[in-house]
Amino acid sequence: MSSSTFVYVAYISATPQELWSALTDTELMRRYWFGLRCESRWTAGSPWKIVCGDDQILDSGEIVDAVPPRSMLIRWQHQRIPELKAEGPSLCKLELERHAGAVKLSITHGMARERSKLIELASGSWPLVISNLKSLLETGSVVLQHLPNVRAHATLEKSHG
């Protein structure tokens, strides 16, 4: 079966525990994820969701596996745009590894579907979110205050209101 996969790697000046905490702290997350927040207990089998400032659920799923502060596997499905929801669930693996005084964060996000619009959207969004996270941890402030217009997202939003 064909699949769509996006891989992103960043090196962040932090400890694995500091990075893990930033990835799982709902209030801190709002600062680097453009007002969005992920809610979960962050343990295997627990529900997981991405929520907007107005409490609308954008994505939902579950934590498949979590090994703090080393790795997490999340299965989720988009909930807002029908075309993306119809694609089914995706899997996102986050891996944290010490590397030369920093932490290597690897994100592998994919689904068993060729040319996934969700993975295309994720490939434009993950770099923005992780750039903000890196900047926040290293300097105390984010690089981007507002989510730039991601072309795939804007196109889908226009067609689905």
The confidence score (pLDDT) of residue 1 equals 54
For the chain, the distance separating the N- and C-terminal CA atoms, rounded to the nearest angstrom, is 32
Long-range contact list for 109-114, CB < 8 A, 24+ apart? 109/5, 109/6, 109/7, 109/8, 110/3, 110/4, 110/5, 110/6, 111/3, 111/4, 111/87, 112/1, 112/2, 112/3, 113/2, 113/3, 113/4, 113/87, 113/88, 114/2, 114/3, 114/4
10-69 pLDDT, tens digit per residue, is: 999 999 999 999 999 999 999 999 999 999 999 999 999 999 988 999 999 999 999 999
60-96 pLDDT, tens digit per residue, is: 999 999 999 999 999 999 999 999 999 999 999 999 9
User: For residue 86, with 0-12 CB atoms within 10 Å meaning exposed, 13-18 middle and 19 or more buried, which class applies?
Assistant: exposed
The confidence score (pLDDT) of residue 146 equals 81
The confidence score (pLDDT) of residue 145 equals 86
CATH of domain 4-160: 3.30.530.20
Distances (CA, A) of 70 to 16, 42, 82: 7, 13, 34
Q: Is the pLDDT of residue 158 over 80?
A: no
- Per 3-state DSSP, the chain is made up of helix, strand and coil in percentages (nearest 5) of 35, 35, 30
Domain ranges (residues) in the chain: 4-160
